[in-house]
Chain A
Amino acid sequence: MPANPILNALRDQYLNTQLAGDRRAALRFIDDALRSGVSVPDMQTHVVRAAQHEIGKLWQEDRISVAQEHLATAISHLALAHLFQHAEFRARVGRKVVVACVPGELHDLPARLLSDALDVHGYDVRFLGADVPLQDLLAVLAAEKPALLALSVTMLFNLPSMREVLRQVRSALPGLPIAIGGHAATTPDAVPFDAPDVITGSAEQLLNDIDRLLAARA
């Protein structure tokens, strides 16, 4: 994604409201940005998601505490919910997608971003959230019979958990297309998931790939 100076500036302003722990200012900021013509997907990806990335780096560099990180993440959840209401929804495509974080993965913001994007895109989304136990996931898949499963993994140490989920889902539901996203799955040194019907990528990459994949299957 080529960095856009305007979007970068917006990201930094948003980040400041997050670090100040001012959720009202954050929402006001989002409203102002939307009014000035910034699109909802840009806000989702290049402002909220990017700021969240910065938050991670700041904690890494010990410049913010875990408590601040939690607060900032909470504000981002609120921001995404707010953006969701301003999205321009496409016509329903009549396909169901289940979105979940693998067991142990507590970072559900990337999964949330993908869920919102899919929802706006016309998919029928079941968002299961962070740290979804494998048995729960399998039960939901059996009951909902989705067209696709999207899994999110942020921390590298959760990759074994991701591989276990893949193995189990494959054996229970062979042929179910699976999309994998999140930081751990998309870092350059991540080992590719070598399985049929699996695609990996960032939220916006996945969105296009999912469209293509499901359209090809229709």
Chain B
Amino acid sequence: MSAVPEQRWSTASREFELGCDAHGVVTWLDERAARGLGLKVGEPLARVTVPGTEEKLRGFLARAHAAPLDNVEIPFVIGGHVVSCFVCSRPEDGGFALLGGWLPQEHSRSVREIEATMQEVVDLNRQLFKAKREIEQRKAELERTVAELADSNRGIQSLHLELQEKAEALQRTAEVRGRVVANVSHEFRTPLHTILGLSRLLQEGNDGPLAAEQHKQVQFIRQSAEELRAMVDDLLDLSSAEAGKTLMRPERFSADDFLSGLRGTLRPLPHAADVELRFADAPADLEFETDPSKLSQVVRNLVSNALKFTERGVVDVSLARDGDVAVFTVRDTGIGIAAEDLPRIFEEFGQVPNRLQTQVKGTGLGLALSRRLAELLGGSLTVASTPGEGSTFTLRVPLEHPEVRELSEIRQRPLDPARSPILVVEDDRKTIFIYEKYLAMAGFQVVPARTVAEAERLLETFRPAAIVLDIMLDGENSWSFLTRLKRDPQTQDIPALVVTVTNKEQKARALGADEFWLKPVDQDLLLRKLRSLKVASPPTRVLVIDDDERARYLIGKLLDAGPFELIEASTGPDGVAAARRHRPHIILLDFLLEGITAFDVLDELKADPLTRTIPVIIVTAHTLESRDRERLSSQTDVILSKESLSRELAINRIRDALSKAGVGALGGVP
């Protein structure tokens, strides 16, 4: 039943026993050592230890035969695997006996796995760290980039500022130059006229005949003066074109009429005998609405230039239509212009030296002026040329001048229910654009009427919130339009703001009556007007300045109906004094006072800050006499002057006048 104990556990035991001599050669061994380590008697222990541990084994052997050793670790190769064994040894027969044991293989495998796992984690940690470092570097780079961008942005800003300053300086220089040129040219004209006139007198021999040589000399003087005058005229044209002072006078005309007019003026131009000036027929039904004199100035200039620089061949003038644009072409077979000179020819005095230059006279301004005029007409002037073959100038001009088109757009647009319509009776486009610009911003819609007749037609189609009328527009018609407006119950309560041209001294005073009423004053109108004044603490004080006692009385009766206080003055000075003392909310001023005019009273009232803001309504029993109109137009600003329209002040006056007249922009702040 019982086996030998060693044999019973021989397969399960992890221990073995063996004996060695002093050199580590096996002298005996048990079955477990023989099977597990694969050793035989006579073999050295070193045969089964792990390579690389020889030194350790040597150290062990050196000590083991001399002294007992415990717990020494020796790695053996067991079944092809490295297995750490813990051994104890005891000296025996000059050698030693050894008891060894090994750990289960899973244990050391687990340790290795744990080690590998840990190393992977550590590796992962390195990668994470590196990624983090990289992100930080990117961030730092980004921050640097942002800082650099901010720097360059600041640089750009200061550069921009610098550019702006330079541009302003340039503009100032150009303005000064323009003014100098304009003034100098203007100043040149007078002495030039004297020289021209006197040389003509001398030539005509009115004060005694000239000798032949003298005649020749005077002729030269006169020619030089003529050239100088042509130059001065061109300079003046150019400087006013550049200053934007050139007035556009668009008219409707047909291409046909225009070209035949041109033919008439161009045929007599001097040119070489071998040169033929040809006009192509204008396209049928080509209608312009632009400034004909400026257009013909440009074309004339181009043709006369072409004739100057063409010795033989033809100068062709043709006109074609390209959509909304008219294209004039002036082609010659002249000397042409070199490519490198092309950009210069449109500059002032940008003449290109050539062999004909000495023969033909020019101011050196013609093409510069032509290009400016082409631009003023909304178009362009370009050139193509081959030296020796000729040049072709192309002028492109919109058939309808841009201002005309813009105005017709304003004219044709429907009424906007969100805006208060203002009927503007005015024939000057620029003034209409100014009204449009400022009143549109204030919430009004400008409805322009070029004539009184048009205004009356328009009044039948809509009811404006106010009417702005240029009293100088249509002569007698304007006055009778105003009279009819104020007589007609349908329209008498539409505020009419009267505009005249400014007086010559350009007084800075903001003068003005706010309304014109005709006597007898209508009670409803008066009460509506007074209620619109928005008086903070009634009663509303009304100052009536009228030398007619009955008229004052009548107004007083009309005011019985409400919380009104009547202040009366029978003369102009009394009225001004009363206005200062009582500070009325509104003043009704009779147009025809004894010994003083309504204008003088107005002047006084508007000159004093205390009374300036009080609305003044001029009341008159008569349609104005022509001398009064004269005075009205030449010496006072009833509402405002056209020439000051662009100023903030002027436009505020319009708005004030409109709001005083009880007209507000719809939806606007009252």
A-B complex is real: yes
Q: Using a CB–CB distance below 8 Å, which chain A residues touch chain B?
A: 59-62, 65-67, 70, 73-74, 77-78, 80-81, 84-85, 89, 106, 108, 112, 116, 119, 127, 129-130, 155-158
- Which residues on the A side are within 8 Å of B72 (C-beta)? 62
- Which residues on the A side are within 8 Å of B118 (C-beta)? 74, 77-78
Main secondary structure of the interface of A (DSSP, over half): helix
- Which residues on the B side are within 8 Å of A60 (C-beta)? 55-56, 59
B60 at the A/B interface (Cβ < 8 Å)?
Answer: yes
Q: Is the CB of B115 within 8 A of A70?
A: yes
Q: Using a CB–CB distance below 8 Å, which chain B residues touch chain A?
A: 50-52, 55-56, 59-60, 72-73, 75, 84, 111-112, 115-116, 118-120, 122-123, 125-126, 129-130, 133
Nearest residue, chain B, Cβ from A183: B52
Q: Is the CB of B51 within 8 A of A129?
A: no
Q: Is the CB of A155 within 8 A of B51?
A: yes
Q: Is the CB of B125 within 8 A of A62?
A: no
Given pairs A60-B56, A119-B130, 20 additional interface contacts (CB within 8 A) = A59-B56, A60-B59, A62-B59, A62-B60, A62-B72, A66-B73, A73-B115, A74-B115, A74-B118, A77-B122, A78-B118, A80-B122, A81-B122, A84-B126, A85-B129, A89-B133, A108-B119, A116-B126, A129-B119, A155-B51
With A89-B133, A129-B119, A157-B50 known to touch, is A67 a contact of B59 (CB < 8 Å)? no
Name the residue in B112, B118, B120, B122 with the highest tally of chain A Cβ atoms < 10 Å from its Cβ.
B122
Q: Is the CB of A59 within 8 A of B59?
A: no
Q: Is the CB of A77 within 8 A of B119?
A: yes
Q: Is the CB of B115 within 8 A of A157?
A: no
> A106 to B109, alpha carbons, bound, how many Å?
12
Q: Is the CB of B126 within 8 A of A81?
A: yes
- Which residues on the A side are within 8 Å of B126 (C-beta)? 81, 84, 116, 119
Q: Is the CB of A62 within 8 A of B56?
A: yes
Q: Could you give 12 example pairs across A and B, Cβ below 8 Å? A: A60-B56, A65-B73, A66-B73, A66-B75, A66-B84, A74-B115, A78-B118, A81-B122, A119-B126, A130-B119, A156-B51, A157-B52
- B73 CB, nearest partner CB in chain A, Å: 6
Nearest residue, chain B, Cβ from A68: B73
- Which residues on the B side are within 8 Å of A116 (C-beta)? 126
> A81 to B120, alpha carbons, bound, how many Å?
11
Nearest residue, chain A, Cβ from B82: A106
The 6 A-B residue pairs with the shortest CB-CB distance in the complex, in nearest-first order: A157-B51, A155-B52, A81-B122, A157-B52, A66-B84, A60-B56
Q: Is the CB of B60 within 8 A of A130?
A: no
- Which residues on the B side are within 8 Å of A74 (C-beta)? 115, 118
- Which residues on the B side are within 8 Å of A157 (C-beta)? 50-52
With A62-B59, A74-B118, A84-B129 known to touch, is A106 a contact of B112 (CB < 8 Å)? yes
- B339 CB, nearest partner CB in chain A, Å: 52
Nearest residue, chain A, Cβ from B75: A66
Nearest residue, chain B, Cβ from A62: B72
- Which residues on the A side are within 8 Å of B116 (C-beta)? 129-130
With A81-B126, A157-B50 known to touch, is A59 a contact of B73 (CB < 8 Å)? yes
- B136 CB, nearest partner CB in chain A, Å: 11
- A49 CB, nearest partner CB in chain B, Å: 16
- A85 CB, nearest partner CB in chain B, Å: 5
> A59 to B112, alpha carbons, bound, how many Å?
17
Q: Is the CB of B73 within 8 A of A78?
A: no
Nearest residue, chain A, Cβ from B56: A60
> A183 to B256, alpha carbons, bound, how many Å?
109
> A211 to B111, alpha carbons, bound, how many Å?
37
- B129 CB, nearest partner CB in chain A, Å: 5
Q: Is the CB of A62 within 8 A of B73?
A: yes
- Which residues on the A side are within 8 Å of B119 (C-beta)? 77, 108, 112, 129-130
- A150 CB, nearest partner CB in chain B, Å: 16
- A61 CB, nearest partner CB in chain B, Å: 7
- Which residues on the B side are within 8 Å of A119 (C-beta)? 126, 130
Q: Is the CB of B59 within 8 A of A61?
A: yes
> A130 to B118, alpha carbons, bound, how many Å?
13
- Which residues on the B side are within 8 Å of A77 (C-beta)? 118-119, 122
Q: Is the CB of B133 within 8 A of A127?
A: no
Q: Is the CB of A67 within 8 A of B111?
A: yes
> A60 to B57, alpha carbons, bound, how many Å?
9
> A158 to B51, alpha carbons, bound, how many Å?
9
Q: Is the CB of A78 within 8 A of B50?
A: no
> A108 to B119, alpha carbons, bound, how many Å?
9
- Which residues on the B side are within 8 Å of A158 (C-beta)? 52
- Which residues on the A side are within 8 Å of B60 (C-beta)? 62
- Which residues on the A side are within 8 Å of B115 (C-beta)? 70, 73-74
> A80 to B118, alpha carbons, bound, how many Å?
13
- Which residues on the B side are within 8 Å of A85 (C-beta)? 129
- B544 CB, nearest partner CB in chain A, Å: 95
- Which residues on the A side are within 8 Å of B111 (C-beta)? 67, 70
> A67 to B60, alpha carbons, bound, how many Å?
19
Nearest residue, chain B, Cβ from A160: B51
> A177 to B487, alpha carbons, bound, how many Å?
112
Nearest residue, chain A, Cβ from B123: A127
- Which residues on the B side are within 8 Å of A70 (C-beta)? 111, 115
- Which residues on the B side are within 8 Å of A108 (C-beta)? 119
- B503 CB, nearest partner CB in chain A, Å: 81
- Which residues on the B side are within 8 Å of A106 (C-beta)? 112
> A84 to B130, alpha carbons, bound, how many Å?
10
Name the residue in A67, A73, A81, A106 with the highest tally of chain B Cβ atoms < 10 Å from its Cβ.
A81
- Which residues on the A side are within 8 Å of B52 (C-beta)? 155-158
> A127 to B116, alpha carbons, bound, how many Å?
13
> A155 to B116, alpha carbons, bound, how many Å?
18
> A142 to B75, alpha carbons, bound, how many Å?
37
- Which residues on the A side are within 8 Å of B123 (C-beta)? 127, 129
- A24 CB, nearest partner CB in chain B, Å: 15
With A70-B115, A108-B119 known to touch, is A81 a contact of B56 (CB < 8 Å)? no
- A163 CB, nearest partner CB in chain B, Å: 15
- Which residues on the B side are within 8 Å of A78 (C-beta)? 118, 122
> A119 to B131, alpha carbons, bound, how many Å?
13
Nearest residue, chain B, Cβ from A64: B73
Nearest residue, chain B, Cβ from A78: B122
Name the residue in B50, B73, B84, B119 with the highest tally of chain A Cβ atoms < 10 Å from its Cβ.
B119
- B99 CB, nearest partner CB in chain A, Å: 16
Nearest residue, chain A, Cβ from B72: A62
- Which residues on the A side are within 8 Å of B129 (C-beta)? 84-85
- B407 CB, nearest partner CB in chain A, Å: 70
Nearest residue, chain B, Cβ from A65: B73
> A169 to B120, alpha carbons, bound, how many Å?
25
Nearest residue, chain B, Cβ from A74: B118
- A206 CB, nearest partner CB in chain B, Å: 19
- Which residues on the A side are within 8 Å of B84 (C-beta)? 66
> A139 to B233, alpha carbons, bound, how many Å?
92
